[in-house]
Amino acid sequence: MLRVGTRGSKLALAQTGHVIDALRALDPDLTIEPVVVESADSTIMDKSRYVSSIEEQLRSHEIDLGVHSAKDVPGEDVPGLLIVAVPERVNPYDTLLGAESLEDLRDGATVGTSSLRRAAQLLAARPDLKIEPLRGNIDTRLRRLTDGDYDAIVLAAAGLERLGIAGDVTQGKLDFVPAPGQGCLALQVRDIDLTTTGIVGPLSHGPSQRELIAERAASSGLVASCNTPLGVHATVEHEAAENGKDKVTVRGWLGLPDGTSFVEDEVSGLASEAHLLGHLLAQRLRSAGGDDILAQAEEMAA
């Protein structure tokens, strides 16, 4: 019996369903029980409360495998737990809904998002925009757009693709730096559970795992809190290096919540050095003014 922990949202259940289908494809005789894990602490307002609830049930042996949206998982590994597999990544980018591009929006248009990173990058590109909070599941957010509460909204392309929704709403691609891990799933187990590790390990997609390693290393190196708009995106290119080994490029964006100041940079190297490259990017961003931005962002949130 493999007990798989997941959040209860429509998107989380769909993501976990894909993982369970993949596990059954590997072993049709495997008995799998999905377990919906509710948030244990409603006072924590960010998505880490769902991650921590699943991690607590892993530690207490109530589940054997946790399925997370990787962008919700803090950059520092939790003692006793390991991310042992990262299935193939889906679209990591943000999608603009309601217009084909930012340029198509009228002056002072209202754009909905509750992501500090998205709001900061929107304001850095279009300071005239009015950013308004947007919460709820994807269906609720789309309905508020079609009801006219916003001129446009920004959502993760991955969620739309995994649920197969968006309908006839006008869409446009945004050249924003995504959140670390956006579009990735992180499959987490107890570090001493070699049996589950052996079952889940084959689901990992090498390039996607390297990308996530680089992004989490950059996030960890910046020590950014939930008050700091941060985007990190790594891309593995197959056989791009002269020696025939995979190359990874890691791009980062760090700014103030109001978009008035930001730094960005990118580094490239061998994919086998993804962790080091992530930390190198963090160092470069900090030395280019990132430390001041990190401090100012905390002051603005106080």
**Annotated active-site residue in 72, 94, 193, 265:** 72
**Annotated active-site residue in 89, 118, 251, 286:** 118
**Annotated active-site residue in 173, 226, 245, 292:** 226
Q: In the numeric block, which tokens belong to residue 86?
A: 């990262």
**Annotated active-site residue in 24, 106, 135, 173:** 135
**Annotated active-site residue in 3, 89, 117, 210:** 117
Closest by CA position to 252, among listed 270, 235, 227, 273: 235
Those residues whose C-beta lies under 8 Å from the C-beta of residue 60, and which sit 6 or more positions away, are none
**Annotated active-site residue in 7, 71, 251, 286:** 71
Catalytic residue check, 118: yes
Catalytic residue check, 147: no
Report the side by side order of strands in the sheet with 65-69.
Answer: 32-36, 2-6, 65-69, 185-190, 81-85
Q: Are 129 and 105 in contact (CB under 8 A)?
A: yes
**Annotated active-site residue in 89, 141, 162, 216:** 141
Catalytic residue check, 47: no
Catalytic residue check, 141: yes
Catalytic residue check, 226: yes
Catalytic residues: 71-72, 117-118, 135, 141, 226
